[in-house]
Amino acid sequence: MDKFGWCILGTGSITFKVAPELLKNENSYIVSCWNRTHEKAVLFSNKFGGTAYENIDECLKRDDIDCVYVAVTNDVHYKFALKAIEYGKNVLLEKPFTINKKETIDLINKAKENNVYLSEAMWTWYNDTAIKTKENISKIGNIKSAKLTFGFPIKSLSKKGRLWDIERGGGALLDLGVYPIRYAYELFGMPKSIEATASLYKGIDKYDEIIFKYDNFVCIIKTCIDRIVSEYVYVKGEKGEIKVPFFHQAHKTILKTEKKQIFKYKGLLYQKQFKVVEDEIKSGLSESNYLTHKSTIDVMELLDKIRNIIGVKYPQD
């Protein structure tokens, strides 16, 4: 089988988690990596292979790169994904895809112009648990209510990290909220209207309560970076209910109708995402069948609309 070479842009904490899983795919290997602080790229390449470049252009120029995984902070997703696209490279871009819908549409258009594959690293939706949940939602009949929550404290206010900084695309909604927002979108589609409230801190949202209104039910979404909230998807229907505990990294979906069924997923967290992307690129696709360009644009539109209601504005807007 043909080997599949990855280039990594930004070797921050997430790349140290995903790389061991990426390397479990038998054809995959790391060709090159680049990081703003070069020492971290060296650490990464010592651990996972490939060449650590100080010069990003040299890093991207390699013709043995099959896909670039972009994992810099949210504020510069657009900039670095665009750079890779302009080098004619396929791109897997971390979530939130970009800061706003305008940047997302622009990036997708640039990928089309350059004839390259572009997809979003919303790994939950490459995995079987989320897909099984979506496939089975109709079994609970007409939806009566839905609740999704996801949040945990990320660094104290005194030790500010990227999530507490508006300049670096911080805030709960874009970083953690994107998971329940994507989940609600996948299960129920675009809401008819949205209500939202948030607690803000220096321009970023640290706690959000969002209501998606559909024709016959409402979906309540909570997300935060300042406290613990339990993590689950819970949907009640006329004929039963569906529950997904710890939904963003879930290994099971519980469906209760007349009987109780549990769908279990035994895979790792990130491995399948990288395998799907590899297979889709090899088969000549320009977007993923798992996360279509339209779905990414729709989710960014929802995030823009919520931000507009709660009053969070980024320099890129």
Distance in angstroms (rounded) separating the CA atoms of residues 60 and 297: 26
**Residue 291 interacts with ligand NAP (CB under 6 A)?**
no
Distance in angstroms (rounded) separating the CA atoms of residues 9 and 22: 15
| Three-state SS at 71 | coil
CB of 117 to ligand NAP, least distance (A): 18
CB of 272 to ligand NAP, least distance (A): 13
Binder among 27, 29, 36, 234 for ligand NAP (CB under 6 A): 36
CB of 201 to ligand NAP, least distance (A): 18
Q: Is 175 exposed, middle or buried (0-12, 13-18, 19+ CB in 10 A)?
A: buried
Q: Is 188 exposed, middle or buried (0-12, 13-18, 19+ CB in 10 A)?
A: middle
**Residue 11 interacts with ligand NAP (CB under 6 A)?**
yes
> Which listed range, 35-43, 150-158, 206-214, 278-286, lies at the site for ligand NAP (CB under 6 A)?
35-43
40-59 burial string, b = 16+ CB within 10 Å, else e? Answer: bbbbbbeebebbbbeebeeb
Q: Name residue, tokens 């990414």.
A: 296
Nearer residue to ligand NAP within complex by CB, 78 or 143: 78
**Residue 40 interacts with ligand NAP (CB under 6 A)?**
yes
Binder among 33, 67, 72, 181 for ligand NAP (CB under 6 A): 72
**Residue 175 interacts with ligand NAP (CB under 6 A)?**
yes
Residue type, 28: S
**Residue 272 interacts with ligand NAP (CB under 6 A)?**
no
Question: Which of these, 92, 304, 295, lies nearest to 186 by C-alpha position?
Answer: 295
Binder among 59, 111, 121, 181 for ligand NAP (CB under 6 A): 121
> Which listed range, 30-38, 112-120, 210-218, 234-242, lies at the site for ligand NAP (CB under 6 A)?
30-38
Nearer residue to ligand NAP within complex by CB, 92 or 198: 92
Distance in angstroms (rounded) separating the CA atoms of residues 184 and 2: 37
**Residue 71 interacts with ligand NAP (CB under 6 A)?**
yes
Distance in angstroms (rounded) separating the CA atoms of residues 44 and 33: 8
Nearer residue to ligand NAP within complex by CB, 191 or 295: 295
Query: Where are the alpha helices (H) located in the chain, listed in sequence order?
Result: 13-22, 38-48, 56-61, 77-86, 101-113, 128-136, 172, 178-188, 271-282, 293-310
Q: Is 139 exposed, middle or buried (0-12, 13-18, 19+ CB in 10 A)?
A: middle
Q: For ligand NAP, what does the binding mask look like between residues 141 and 170, x meaning CB under 6 A?
A: ---------------------x--------
**Residue 306 interacts with ligand NAP (CB under 6 A)?**
no
> Which listed range, 34-42, 61-69, 201-209, 253-261, lies at the site for ligand NAP (CB under 6 A)?
34-42
Q: Provide the binding-site residues for ligand NAP, judged by CB under 6 A.
A: 10-14, 35-37, 40, 71-74, 76, 94-95, 121, 123, 162, 175
